[in-house]
């Protein structure tokens, strides 16, 4: 069975500092990988996705993620965070060519210090 | 182009009542997924439907829960005889090509 681990429950960074959120997955074949962001009381917004090809993918709001097969990781990065980036971030994996239901990590709560 | 629509946004039910949650996918999307978000459990997949077909219901509780996606109209997640443990946020997602899922704003169900 597939699984996703987000080791950091909470992360606090200063506004303007760089950010890296960790995600490790377990899946037997080539995974479809996603990062979503959720603001309080809201739905999930897709930040970026990886299916194949270039292992460094660019997303919305200045986010990027790098797929590393050897480490089973798909870490999310941003060079300079803004106060509006404070939210819950979820990494997810899907098999079946992306058609299966998503398996989510438990999320990382990002706090931005002024 | 409207996104995924869910209604109601908030639903309050007493124990034993029925809850009906509706989801209208994005235009042109024929794949619908339902997820439940519980505070201590995170987001869990429940069911995957295409028009008039249930493709994967491996995440659905065996009793009291059902889902449909008729030829016409929204997808419905139905919970019969609700209990306090059903209180959660329920999210619907839709997909055009069964690869990338786009989520709705969710329905927050509170069972009194």
- Distance (Å, whole) CA B47 – CA A77: 31
B100 at A interface, C-beta within 8 A? yes
Question: How far is residue A109 from each of residues A45, B37, B55, measured CA to CA in Å?
Answer: 15, 15, 33
Per-residue pLDDT tens digits for A80-113: 999 999 999 999 999 766 678 999 999 999 999 9
Q: Which residues of A touch B (CB under 8 A)?
A: 32, 34, 36, 41-46, 49, 51, 90, 97-107
Per-residue pLDDT at B35: 97
Query: Mean of the pLDDT values across residues B59-84?
Result: 96
Q: Which residue shows structure tokens 């706090």?
A: A111
CB-nearest to B91 from A44, A46, A49 is: A44
- Distance (Å, whole) CA A36 – CA B16: 34
Q: Which residues of chain A does B31 touch, with a Cβ-Cβ cutoff of 8 Å?
A: 99
Mean pLDDT rounded to a whole number for chain B? 94
Rounded to the nearest angstrom, the minimum Cα separation between B94 and chain A is 11
Alpha helices in chain A (DSSP H): none
pLDDT reading at B1 higher than 70: no
Per-residue pLDDT tens digits for B24-69: 999 999 999 999 999 878 899 999 999 999 999 999 999 999 999 9
- Tokens found for residue B43: 């987001």
Which of B88, B82, B47 minimizes the C-alpha distance to B68? Answer: B47
Which of A27, A19, A42 minimizes the C-alpha distance to A100? Answer: A27
Q: Which residues of chain A does B97 touch, with a Cβ-Cβ cutoff of 8 Å?
A: 98
- Residues A102, B33: C-beta atoms closer than 8 Å: yes
- Residues A101, B100: C-beta atoms closer than 8 Å: no
**Which phi and psi (to 5°) does residue A77 adopt?**
-135, 155
Phi-psi region of A70 (alpha: psi -120 to 50; beta: other; left: phi over 0): alpha
Per-residue pLDDT at A30: 80
pLDDT reading at A1 higher than 90: no
Confidence at B8, pLDDT banded by 50, 70, 90 = very high
- Tokens found for residue B44: 């869990």
Q: Which residues of chain B does A105 touch, with a Cβ-Cβ cutoff of 8 Å?
A: 42
Q: Which residue shows structure tokens 């971030």?
A: A89
Rounded to the nearest angstrom, the minimum Cα separation between A84 and chain B is 19
User: From the centroid of its chain, how far is CA A8?
Assistant: 12
Q: Report cis status (omega within 30 of 0) of the bond before A90.
A: no
- Tokens found for residue B25: 């996918």
Please state, as a whole number, how many other Cβ atoms lie within 10 Å of the Cβ of residue A92: 26
Per-residue pLDDT tens digits for A45-74: 999 999 988 999 999 999 999 999 999 999
Per-residue pLDDT at A22: 98
Rounded to the nearest angstrom, the minimum Cα separation between B104 and chain A is 6
- Distance (Å, whole) CA B100 – CA A36: 11
Question: Long-range pairs for A51-57 at CB < 8 Å and ≥24 separation?
Answer: A51/A98, A51/B99
Nearest CA in chain A to B48: A101
Question: How many Å is the maximal CA-CA distance in chain A?
Answer: 43
CA-based end-to-end distance of chain B: 37
């Amino acid at each position: 069975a597939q699984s996703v681990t987000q080791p950091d429950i909470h992360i606090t960074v200063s506004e303007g500092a760089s950010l890296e959120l960790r995600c490790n997955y377990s899946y037997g074949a080539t995974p479809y990988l996603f990062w979503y962001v959720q603001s309080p009381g809201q739905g999930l917004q897709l930040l970026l996705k990886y299916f194949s090809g270039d292992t460094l993918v660019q997303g919305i709001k200045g986010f990027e993620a790098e797929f590393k097969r050897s480490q089973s990781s798909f870490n999310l990065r941003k060079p300079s965070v803004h106060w509006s980036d404070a939210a819950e971030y979820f990494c997810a994996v899907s098999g079946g060519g992306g058609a299966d239901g998503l398996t989510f990590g438990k999320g990382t709560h990002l706090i931005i210090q002024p | 182009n409207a996104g995924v629509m869910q209604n109601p946004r908030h639903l309050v039910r007493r124990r034993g009542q029925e809850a009906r949650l509706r989801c209208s996918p994005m235009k042109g999307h024929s794949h619908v997924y339902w997820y439940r978000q519980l505070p201590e459990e995170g987001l869990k997949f429940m069911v995957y439907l295409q028009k008039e077909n249930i493709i994967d219901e491996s995440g659905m509780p065996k009793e009291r829960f059902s889902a449909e996606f008729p030829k016409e109209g929204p997808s419905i997640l139905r919970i019969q005889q609700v209990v306090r443990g059903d209180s959660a946020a329920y999210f619907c997602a839709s997909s055009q090509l069964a690869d990338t899922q786009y989520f709705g704003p969710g329905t927050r169900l509170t069972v009194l």
